[in-house]
Amino acid sequence: MAENYKDIEELVKKDEKLIDLWGRRNPRFEKRYEQSVIRVISDYGVGASGNMSAKGKILGAGYEPYIMAFFIGLYSDKKIPLSEESDEVKGLGQPLQYWGNLDSKKNRKAYPNLRSYIFIALVAKTEIDWIALDKGDIEPATVVTALVKTMEEYANYGFSVMEEKLKEDKGYFFSNRAFLDMFLQLTDKTAKDIEQDDSPESID
Amino acid sequence: MVIQKVEIQNFRLFYRHNEFIFSNGLNLIIGSNGDGKTTFLDALGWLFRTDGACKTDTNFISKKRWEELLPNDSDEVRVAMTYEHGGEQKVLVKHFRFTKSIVGEIITSDYVFSLIEDNGTERTVKDGYYFDKDLPTEIRHFMMFEGEGDLYALQSSNAMKILIDSYSDVKEFDAYYNFMEYATKNADKARDHALRMDKQNADKARLLKKTIDTEEALLADVEREICVKEDEALNFESLLNNLFEDKEYSKFLVAVNRRIENLVQKRSECAARIREDYNFNLLSDIWILLGFKDIADEYSSKITKISRERFNLENDYLVDQGINNAIKQVESGVIRETKLPAFYRHEYIDELQKRKYILNYNLFEIKQIPQKIKDTISQNERFHNELKKIDAKLELEYEQKKRLLAQADGLSEEQLLANYENILSWAEKKHQAENRIDTLKRQREQHKMSLEEARFSLNKLSEGTVAAQYAKAALLFHHIHDAFKNAKEENKRHIINIIEDKANMFLQHLYADDYTGVVRMIEKQNGQVEAFLMDSDNSRVFRPSYSLNKAYLLSVLLSVGEVLRERNNIEMPIIINDSFSCYDENNENKFFNATNRQMIILTSDYLTQGNDGRKVMDIDKFSTISGTAYRIEKKRPFDNTKLETMQTTISKIK
């Protein structure tokens, strides 16, 4: 389905885009979640996610739990700032521009377009003086830092939720519906709530 | 022969001396499994052996008695039977001594096997082998039975053949038949010799003789092959008839297997359509955007607002700068185009604006995601339900298959399937055998005719010569030989018919209230005589019920005894170790009353479970029986892991 969407990146000018600046960043997470969550449900730290199935992990690369955590925070609209102690946090290890690029490994398709939507969500949820940015009064790096901070804080909340779930039930996320049910609950979408809109919204 | 008393001493479970007194009529020995019924029969079996085998078998020695013996002590294993035969009372006794050596080994000695005859005035002791005169071995096959296994074994043994050959009038013909064989051969020799002397016809005679020899050899070959093929056809017919019911099972099994195969495939296809890797869908199909609409709207509003603001600011700036420049120019009097410095250094808002357009374009698809999720989940649930239905059907089919195999008389699935394949093959082989038999029979007639013609020509050749008389004599002897051969066969058939008629009489008596079929005694090519149960349309009843099967075999047994008594004045008891529980009380009594011969029945019938779990006499059932009865059981207490603690006790209860 991802390939059906018009590629957002093509229409933007070929100068260095904000999303590209953002894409070079390596978001951080609190180290405590590495063992309690990330390594439990993904191949983080192991390598090719082609071995995912064989290892019995439900997710592949480490950014996948990060994406799940981010969206948990986003849909809950809750953030938790990262710890200020530098030795309690670490970078994931893979810049955002590579997230979702894995292709054809064990029946998985690449999903690079998801990055654009994450970026869009961060722009929507981060208070930035965009006028000042365009005027040059603030640096793009500052804006990108703010966007990444928003991302880290949403994900931090998401990781805390996931850790709680795993504490209650070690096998919680090993059900193939665990994440889906969680998102369905958070978004509370049912068939009767769906607006049957047959045409795209007008561009204004 | 009427057994009056049986004594068993130190023979296996029969510790020290034990005695049974029997009446001429029904005698029951009632005991549970392991109480000594089989041992009783084995003791008699050992006593009756006149072939010299198993004389001092140490396995017979009572373990309990053996354990009691001190070194150098000894005792006896002894079995004796007192019986009345031909007006004389006789005692058949067999015993040997066993001694425990100092080192605990068994030493056997003093084996004795005697027949003591007492006619009232004189007492004679003979060698035990003389017992054969009172109860020949051929007859013992029809006297003692250890369960229905022995009854079946009777069918496949030569016992019936030997009995008929020994005790019918058939053997009377043997001497005449054998003599005629001899006479015929010598008459032929004399004729041939006379013909050879006749120089005129010697060559022709030689040719004819050669023809006769050839035809006789060919005829013998044909007869042999007819025997083989008839047996073959009979075997295939048995196999096919045995498969008759199995054929239906086989057909059903093939059908069930086919249905199972189809269902398994359908299941596999259905299972393959289930796609429940929702984590895959969340990321690769970006289902994770199921709640993104609000965020998209937020983004759109924000960017719209920022863009407007950006535009307005720039516009205001341009207007202000324009007015200022215009004023300056007017004041200076110089009118020239002035390039204004850019209000904005970057166009990131423009990037965001463009991103908004694409987002809006894709929004419709994003809004469809929750429905897509629901549809996928529903579809998977439908497939799961379909899978459940298929599994339910599969379970039913497997149950049916299990029931089918349970009813198929212990045949395995492989056998049933093989049977299905075999039926065609065997039918074809039977048909081929039958066709071959027809061909061979035609050939046999041709050879017979050729042989007759050659003999006739040979005899004719000798007309008017010295050889003529020899030829006539030879021809006459041939005819007499054939007559005796036919008479022998007819006589055999006659005795078989008598046994058959009596067997049917007994069967009707034993099984009066139900379907019985008809007993037919058929002589096979190898001389064995087998009894079959046939329907009124002359088709064989291949699967009679358990009780009917036993009844018809017992009828044959009783019939043989009756024929021996009536024709040969041989009276013998019946000794059976078996259960009659397959019969109701009525039929059971009918068996007991079927003949006035002495019967000794060893059975576990008439026992029932007592309150303490032990077997006790069923008084109500037992009260209907008349005759002598003994109860045998292991003396308690005993250790069931130590044979030396066990012994059978006997008590007369009637």
B590 lies in some domain:
yes
Closest CB to A134 among B284, B349, B359 = B349
Closest CB to A108 among B280, B286, B292 = B280
Q: Using CA atoms in the order B303, B307, B313, B317, what is the torsion angle rounded to 10 degrees?
A: 150
Alpha helix segments (H runs only) across B532-611 = 546-568, 585-592
Going across the sheet that includes B574-577, the strands are B144-146, B574-577, B599-603, B26-30, B628-634, B648-652
Query: Mean pLDDT over all residues of chain B?
Result: 83
* A4 contacts: CB under 8 Å, gap ≥ 6: B365
Q: Which of B279, B306, B367 to mutate to test the interface with A (most CBs of A within 10 A)?
A: B279
Residue A84 distance to chain B (closest CA, Å):
29
Closest CB to A183 among B280, B291, B361 = B291
A51 lies in some domain:
yes
* List of chain B residues whose C-beta atoms are within 8 Å of the C-beta of residue A12: 351, 354-355
The structure tokens listed for A3 are 């390939």
Q: Do the strands A28-30 and A89-91 form a parallel or antiparallel pair, or are they unpaired?
A: antiparallel
Give the 3-state secondary structure percentages of chain B, helix then strand then coil, rounded to 5: 60, 15, 25
A96 lies in some domain:
yes
Q: In terms of residue numbers, what domain contains A151?
A: 16-186
Q: Which amino acid is at B359?
A: L
**pLDDT confidence of A195, banded at 50, 70, 90?**
very low
* List of chain B residues whose C-beta atoms are within 8 Å of the C-beta of residue A180: 278-279, 281-282, 287, 373
Q: Do the strands B599-603 and A89-91 form a parallel or antiparallel pair, or are they unpaired?
A: unpaired
Name the phi and psi angles at B2, rounded to 5: -125, 120
Chain A residue with minimal CA distance to B371? A191
Answer yes or no: are the C-beta atoms of B32 and B615 closer than 8 Å. yes
For residue B342, the model assigns a pLDDT of: 75
A152 lies in some domain:
yes
* List of chain A residues whose C-beta atoms are within 8 Å of the C-beta of residue B343: 135
DSSP string covering B151-182, please? HHHHHHSSHHHHHHHHHSTHHHHHHHHHHHHH
Count of all residues that appear for chain B in the document: 654
A181 lies in some domain:
yes
Closest CB to A71 among B288, B349, B351 = B288
Closest CB to A121 among B295, B358, B360 = B295
Chain B residue with minimal CA distance to A182? B288
Name the phi and psi angles at A113, rounded to 5: -65, -20
| Cβ distance of B361 and A140 shorter than 8 Å | no
Three-class DSSP labels, B489-542: HHHHHHHHHHHHHHHHHHHHHHCCCCCCCEEEEEECCCCCEEEEEECCCCCECC
Compute the distance between CA of residue B295 and CA of residue B142 in angstroms, rounded to an integer: 102
* List of chain B residues whose C-beta atoms are within 8 Å of the C-beta of residue A71: 288
| Cβ distance of B282 and A191 shorter than 8 Å | no
Compute the distance between CA of residue B647 and CA of residue B15 in angstroms, rounded to an integer: 6
The position carrying tokens 């690449």 is A110
List all residues of chain B from 358 to 397 with a beta carbon under 8 Å from chain A.
Answer: 358-365, 367, 370-374
Residue A142 distance to chain B (closest CA, Å):
13
Q: Which of A10, A13, A117 to mutate to test the interface with B (most CBs of B within 10 A)?
A: A117
B620-641 burial string, b = 16+ CB within 10 Å, else e?
A: eebeebebbbbbbbbeeeeeee
Q: Using CA atoms in the order B460, B466, B467, B468, what is the torsion angle rounded to 10 degrees?
A: 40
Chain B residue with minimal CA distance to A110? B284
The structure tokens listed for B452 are 């007759």
DSSP class of residue A36 equals: I
For residue B555, the model assigns a pLDDT of: 84
* List of chain B residues whose C-beta atoms are within 8 Å of the C-beta of residue A113: 286
A4 lies in some domain:
no
Q: In terms of residue numbers, what domain contains B589?
A: 2-135+572-652
If chain B, 654 residues long, is cut into consecutive pieces of 10 residues, what is the mean pLDDT of each piece? 94 93 90 88 90 82 92 94 89 94 90 88 86 81 70 62 69 73 80 76 84 91 89 79 69 89 95 90 92 94 94 86 76 69 84 91 90 93 95 93 77 78 81 92 93 84 74 78 80 85 85 74 72 72 70 82 79 80 60 79 80 75 78 85 85 84
Last residue of a domain, one of B353, B384, B407: B407
Compute the distance between CA of residue B443 and CA of residue B453 in angstroms, rounded to an integer: 15
- pLDDT at residue A104 greater than cutoff 60: no
* List of chain B residues whose C-beta atoms are within 8 Å of the C-beta of residue A2: 284-286
Residue B350 distance to chain A (closest CA, Å):
8
Three-class DSSP labels, B286-328: CHHHHHCHHHHHHHHHHHHHHHHHHHHHHHHHHHHHHHHHHHH
> Could you report how far apart the first and last alpha carbons of chain A are, in Å?
26
CA angle B382, B383, B389 (to 5 degrees): 90
| Cβ distance of A183 and B289 shorter than 8 Å | no
Q: A77: phi > 0 → left, psi -120 to 50 → alpha, else beta; which? A: left
pLDDT tens-place string over residues B450-492 = 988 988 887 787 777 777 777 777 778 878 877 887 887 888 8
The structure tokens listed for A116 are 């654009």
* List of chain A residues whose C-beta atoms are within 8 Å of the C-beta of residue B295: 74, 120-121, 124-125
A198 lies in some domain:
no
B115 lies in some domain:
yes
Strand partners, B85: B88
The structure tokens listed for B227 are 């025997």
Chain A residue with minimal CA distance to B357? A203
A37 lies in some domain:
yes
User: What percent of chain A is predicted at pLDDT more than 90?
Assistant: 56
For residue B155, the model assigns a pLDDT of: 61
Answer yes or no: are the C-beta atoms of B170 and B441 closer than 8 Å. no
- pLDDT at residue A203 greater than cutoff 60: no
Closest CB to A183 among B290, B344, B360 = B290
Compute the distance between CA of residue B533 and CA of residue B518 in angstroms, rounded to an integer: 6
Tell me which H or E stretch contains B220. Answer: helix B202-273
Last residue of a domain, one of B375, B407, B439: B407
- pLDDT at residue A39 greater than cutoff 60: yes
User: What is the total count of domains within chain A?
Assistant: 1
For residue B326, the model assigns a pLDDT of: 74
Answer yes or no: are the C-beta atoms of B472 and B459 closer than 8 Å. yes
* B150 contacts: CB under 8 Å, gap ≥ 6: B144
User: What is the total count of domains within chain B?
Assistant: 2
pLDDT tens-place string over residues A134-188 = 998 999 999 999 999 999 999 999 999 999 999 999 889 888 889 999 999 999 8
CA angle B308, B312, B314 (to 5 degrees): 120
Compute the distance between CA of residue B465 and CA of residue B455 in angstroms, rounded to an integer: 16
| Beta-carbon count within 10 A of A104 CB | 9
Compute the distance between CA of residue B431 and CA of residue B450 in angstroms, rounded to an integer: 29
Three-class DSSP labels, B65-113: HHHHCCCCCEEEEEEEEEEEECCEEEEEEEEEEEEECCCCCEEEEEEEE
* B372 contacts: CB under 8 Å, gap ≥ 6: A1, B287
Q: Which of B275, B276, B278 to mutate to test the interface with A (most CBs of A within 10 A)?
A: B278
Compute the distance between CA of residue B476 and CA of residue B470 in angstroms, rounded to an integer: 10
* Residue with more model confidence, B10 or A102: B10
Q: How many CA atoms lie within 13 A of B106 on its CB side?
A: 18
| Cβ distance of A6 and B367 shorter than 8 Å | no
**pLDDT confidence of A77, banded at 50, 70, 90?**
very high
Tell me which H or E stretch contains B63. Answer: helix B63-68
Residue B322 distance to chain A (closest CA, Å):
19
Answer yes or no: are the C-beta atoms of B422 and B256 closer than 8 Å. no
Compute the distance between CA of residue B299 and CA of residue B362 in angstroms, rounded to an integer: 14
* List of chain B residues whose C-beta atoms are within 8 Å of the C-beta of residue A104: none
pLDDT tens-place string over residues B494-503 = 888 888 898 8
Chain A residue with minimal CA distance to B343? A135
B320 lies in some domain:
yes
B301 lies in some domain:
yes
Q: What is the CATH number of the domain that holds B608?
A: 3.40.50.300
pTM: 0.51
The position carrying tokens 């006997």 is B650
Instruction: Compute the count of residue pairs across chains A and B with CB atoms less than 8 Å apart.
Output: 169
The structure tokens listed for B282 are 């969340």
B124 lies in some domain:
yes
Q: Which of B295, B368, B369 to mutate to test the interface with A (most CBs of A within 10 A)?
A: B295
Residue A171 distance to chain B (closest CA, Å):
15
Compute the distance between CA of residue B160 and CA of residue B157 in angstroms, rounded to an integer: 7
The structure tokens listed for A24 are 């070079």
| Cβ distance of B346 and A133 shorter than 8 Å | yes
Preceding omega of B637 cis (within 30 degrees of 0): yes
A148 lies in some domain:
yes
CB proximity B291 to A under 8 Å: yes
Nearest to A100, CA basis, from A81, A79, A117, A86: A117
B127 lies in some domain:
yes
List all residues of chain B from 301 to 320 with a beta carbon under 8 Å from chain A.
Answer: 302-304, 306, 309-310, 313
SS3 A5: coil
Tell me which H or E stretch contains B224. Answer: helix B202-273
Last residue of a domain, one of B407, B422, B448: B407
